[in-house]
Amino acid sequence: MSAVREDAWPARRRLSLPWCPRRYAQKMDWKRYERAVVEKFLREFPPPHFRVEPSAEDDYYFIGRHSGEGRQLDVAVFRRGEGAPFLVVDAKHWRKPLDIVDVESFISFLDDVGAQIGVLVTSSRFTKASPRRAAGAHVSIHLEIVSVEEALEWDWLGLGRRIYPWDWVYHWHLGHALRLLEEGGAVDAVSEAMEEVPFEEWEAAVNFALKRHQDEARHFLGWVATMHHDDRWRFNAARHLGENGLLTESIRKRVIELEADPEARALLAEL
């Protein structure tokens, strides 16, 4: 069935992110941590005035002015029209604290790539002497701690951008809802996270979930179809289940019982 119901779907407006308890711990390797840090700086330096690399899953290299070798940059920020990064980020998903040796290595790295500002990011901590060494560098160096929990939020926000790249306002909500879904969070919490998301973004998130997390998505859509207070949500949840061959007879009957509109009832009966 191709019919959809988006009449009077919630208007586009900036919202606070609903808080939901974390139920399951997630693994974060160094690659995912770096990807989350890229997302963080992409938000802090958005286009069109800035360009942030890497822009995809591939690593990014920049030729060192002294070494002549390709230096891998975890994050490189370019001003529009400039060929060299003015800000470079090095992300360390380490358990041990970063010390003076790490800061000095970063200073040498910045000198080779010619960046004016450097940000050294870690998921652990810095030794007491590290800020003093950073302060004595010939370039501006900032030391920043990004915890694994914070990085997870940034990483899931990036997923929201990849699912629906046209409107950045709701990426927090999309990412947060999909994180809850993957972690086995309560279906009402997932619904709350997406409660005010516009129709196009809602559709994109549901389609993504059905492809990547079908069991969790089926459980969520079944709950929406039979328990949600909004008849548009119930109708579209049933539609998605029907289009993917996941609609049970009991859910179909319940949705029809709850539906007041005769035309919608007829469409539901055809699923």
Q: What is the pLDDT of residues 222-241, one digit of tens each?
A: 999 999 999 999 999 999 99
Give the CATH number of domain 30-148. 3.40.1350.10
Please tell me the predicted confidence (pLDDT) of residue 185: 83
Low pLDDT (below 50) residues in the chain: 1, 11-25
Helix (H) or strand (E) holding 257: helix 249-258
Please tell me the predicted confidence (pLDDT) of residue 7: 65
Please tell me the predicted confidence (pLDDT) of residue 26: 54
Please tell me the predicted confidence (pLDDT) of residue 174: 83
Give CA–CA dist 196/170, Å, rounded: 9
- The β-bridge relationship of strands 75-79 and 70-72 is unpaired
Whether residue 262 is preceded by a cis peptide bond, meaning omega within 30 degrees of 0, is no
Check if the beta carbon of residue 181 is closer than 8 Å to that of residue 220. Answer: yes
At 175, give phi and psi (nearest 5°). Answer: -60, -40
At 209, give phi and psi (nearest 5°). Answer: -65, -40
Check if the beta carbon of residue 178 is closer than 8 Å to that of residue 209. Answer: yes
Give CA–CA dist 208/115, Å, rounded: 38
